[in-house]
Amino acid sequence: MDWGMENRMKRIFQSDGRAVMLACDHGYFLGPISKLEDPAKTITPLLSYADSIMLTRGVLRNCIDPASKTPIILRVSGGNSIIGKALSNEGLTASMEDAIRLNVAAVTLSIYVGTDHEHQTIINLSRLVDEGERYGIPVLAVTAVGKELEKRDARFLALCCRIAAEMGSQMVKTYYCSDFEKVVNSCPVPLVIAGGPKLETELDVFNLAADAVRDGAKGVDMGRNIWQNENPIAMIKGIRHIVHEGGTAKEAYRMYLELSRGKGRKAAGRKK
Ligand code: R5P
């Protein structure tokens, strides 16, 4: 790996080889979802707790202070919307030249394996890897499932992650599932997990992160379960405890409750 590529990877994956990425790119097809109506208001207080943030160039340019030192993972695929015909119908939406202009640490796109747009999204990934290799910019491939969340099983996700790695992606983001080790063991590049839609309790979120790390994930690229929480800083601190300090889900939850106390916002219990 060339110096520039390695330097960028090491800005994303810390000295322990793990990463807490904060996913804030949802608006590219979901529009102003809850708590991201005003991206700056939600993202800015969390910036210093994230090892990197994942977002589009529009939100980056308009909502993030250029003085921020948090590495950027730039979403460069889209062209779809939640009300359109097919979420899988994505193309590349930003050039590598613009990614370099924005001084990003990595670029990211989704592949939609098993859909009508499988071919185009995998070719998008291959082209992006070619461009990234030229300039030393790593690519994070997201194994997207669109609205079909039930697709998230080990056989399917292992297929998606392996294809992403075979196309040259330097890292892959996928979902946690039963038999997750099978996904990890057949993917030769680092894997991180998405959080998915907001879970019922904070402990569920911490259990998800802890199980994923235990089974071989190198960290998380989590969004809604952090910034849609009543106490997002307490959530991301709990996640950091699991990812970087080897903490348990219960420890993270205790930390969350302690940090939430006296905040004037709801300190959530087991069930909401
Ligand atoms: C899709 O909207 C994006 O790729 C998100 O970055 C991804 O789903 C992770 O965010 P969350 O943890 O909210 O699922």
Read off the pLDDT of residues 124-157 as tens digits, 9 standing for 90 and up.
999 999 999 999 999 999 999 866 767 779 999 9
195 lines ligand 1 (CB under 6 A): yes
Smallest Cα–Cα separation from 73: which of 219, 186, 259?
219
pTM for this structure? 0.94
How far apart are the CA of 222 and the centre of ligand 1, in A? 6
Grouping H, G, I as helix, E, B as strand and the rest as coil, residue 228 is coil
Grouping H, G, I as helix, E, B as strand and the rest as coil, residue 193 is strand
94 lines ligand 1 (CB under 6 A): no
Q: Whose CA is nearest to atom 14 of ligand 1?
A: 196
Q: Rounded CA gap, 196 and 251, in Å?
A: 22
How far apart are the CA of 13 and the centre of ligand 1, in A? 19
194 lines ligand 1 (CB under 6 A): yes
- Helix residue spans in the chain (DSSP H): 3-12, 27-30, 39-43, 57-63, 96-101, 118-135, 154-166, 180-185, 202-214, 224-227, 232-245, 249-260
Which atom of ligand 1 is the closest one to the Cα of 142?
A: 4
Tokens 């106390």 found at: 261
How many other β-carbons are positioned within 10 Å of the β-carbon of residue 67? 5
What sign results for the dihedral spanned by CA atoms 92, 93, 96, 102? negative
The domains located in the chain, with CATH, are: 3-195+217-223 (3.20.20.70)
Question: What pLDDT is stored for residue 266 in this prediction?
Answer: 54
Grouping H, G, I as helix, E, B as strand and the rest as coil, residue 202 is helix
**Which residues, listed in sequence order, are joined to residue 191 by a DSSP beta bridge?**
172
pLDDT tens profile 103-125: 999 999 999 999 999 999 999 99
How far apart are the CA of 28 and the centre of ligand 1, in A? 11
Q: Which residue among 22, 25, 35 has the greatest number of ligand 1 atoms within 8 angstroms of its CB, and so is best to mutate? A: 25
Smallest Cα–Cα separation from 228: which of 263, 266, 258, 192?
266
Question: What pLDDT is stored for residue 260 in this prediction?
Answer: 94
Q: Whose CA is nearest to atom 10 of ligand 1?
A: 223
CA atoms within 13 A on the CB side of 133: 11
DSSP assignment, residue 33?
-
Q: Are 46 and 232 in contact (CB under 8 A)?
A: yes
224 lines ligand 1 (CB under 6 A): yes
The full length of the chain comes to 272
Instruction: Select the more confidently predicted residue: 19 or 196.
Output: 19
Q: Whose CA is nearest to atom 6 of ligand 1?
A: 23
**Mean pLDDT rounded to a whole number for the chain:** 94
pLDDT tier for residue 271 given thresholds of 50, 70 and 90: very low
Q: Rounded CA gap, 42 and 232, in Å?
A: 9
Which segment of 31-40, 69-78, 147-156, 234-243 scores lowest on mean pLDDT?
A: 147-156
Q: Rounded CA gap, 271 and 35, in Å?
A: 20
Q: Residue 77: left (phi > 0), alpha (psi -120 to 50), or beta?
A: beta
Query: ∠ CA(71), CA(60), CA(259), 5° rounding?
Result: 65
How many other β-carbons are positioned within 10 Å of the β-carbon of residue 153? 14
142 lines ligand 1 (CB under 6 A): yes
How far apart are the CA of 183 and the centre of ligand 1, in A? 19
272 belongs to the catalytic site: no
**Active-site residue among 35, 151, 173, 218?**
173
Grouping H, G, I as helix, E, B as strand and the rest as coil, residue 47 is helix
Question: What pLDDT is stored for residue 97 in this prediction?
Answer: 98
The percent of residues in the chain predicted with pLDDT above 90, rounded, is 91
Q: Rounded CA gap, 234 and 252, in Å?
A: 9
How far apart are the CA of 16 and the centre of ligand 1, in A? 24
How far apart are the CA of 88 and the centre of ligand 1, in A? 15
Q: Rounded CA gap, 64 and 70, in Å?
A: 10
Q: Whose CA is nearest to atom 7 of ligand 1?
A: 194
